[in-house]
Structures are given as structure tokens and as C-alpha cells.
Amino acid sequence: MPKKALIVVDVQNDFCAGGSLAVPDAEAILPVVNREIERFRKDLDAYVVFTKDWHPAAHSSFTTNSPEGIWPPHCVQGTVGAEIHPGVIGEADVVILKGEHPEVDSYSAFFDNNKAWKTGLDEWLRSRQVETLYVLGLATDYCVKFTVLDALSLGYDVRLIADGCRGVNVRPSDSADAIREMKAAGAVIA
């Protein structure tokens, strides 16, 4: 029987208030995240997946390491900033680490940004006959968006839990634009 999975994208300390790359209003999603984790935990045909940015300290996307870097250091391997926010209640069946390669970032939970490396998420889901993904987390306009788009390209049925997401919004319309792009690509907006 086809199964489903909840993908909780990067709800980590560095993306929340006080973190080095805090997403505005990030903590507002915690009740939604916790509600969905609880709902999925009650379903015997469902899994819960957490993703984590897991960067080496010398990551090339950091402004401190490269003139081409665009982000402040964040979610550095083994630091408190890289841990799942303590407001997230419940356990994951698996934690997928991404952004481990120092020369290329990985917004998606499936691939690095160059599509040269896979994280292992696709294989993990397929080995459990998962066909439908429910996605929420941080940030709508980056890691959530690229996770959803890659999931669709891999043939998954994808539902975005929009009230469980918040965006960086470098431009004020970035999150709304990302949701439109995910919907146009085939995601159902829930």
C-alpha cells in the first residue's frame, strides 16, 4: 500500500529567533509543525522526516569564506545552531543532512544545488513505498521550494502545508512567488 511522509524542512536554531540566519516569524510555524508530526505519528502508513542544513565551517556559501558567499555562517556541523529547534515536539524516523559539501550548497532535501550529489532521501522514501509527501518548514523561498520542486521532478505527489512555512523574503514577494512556482509545477497547496 502506498505510504506518505511528512518532510519537516530545516526547523533549526540558526533559522529561528536569535539564530545567525533567522527567518522572520519562524516560531509561528511551531504549532503547525507539532500538529502535523502528531498527526503523522498516529498513522501507521506514514513517516516523519527532518532535514537539517549541516555545513562544514569552511562552506563556500558563507560570506566569511568566499567573496561569492551569500549567507552568514549558519547551521555549522555540531553546533547548537544546527540542532532542531527545541520547540519541535516529536521524533523523526530519519534525519537527512544536506549542505555537507564545502564547495556547493544544498537547498533541496534531495540534491545539492548542482544536482551532482543525492542526499539519500529519495532512496529512503522509495524503500518504504512512500508516494505522497507533505512538506513544511523553513524557508519557503529556498529550502522548502527546492525540496518541493525536486520531489515533483522525482515523481512524488506533493502537498505544501503553507501555514507551516515562513520565508526569508529578500524581496517582499519571494515567498508568494515561491508558492506560485510550486503550485505551477504540480504541488497541491494545503
Residues serving a catalytic function are 10, 98, 143
Distances (CA, A) of 101 to 78, 89, 107, 118, 173: 15, 29, 12, 11, 30
The answer to whether residues 82 and 13 touch, using CB atoms and an 8 Å cutoff, is yes
Looking at the chain, the number of H-run helices and the number of E-run strands are 4, 6
CB neighbours of residue 177 within 10 Å: 16
State how far the Cα of 174 lies from the Cα of 180, in Å rounded to an integer: 10
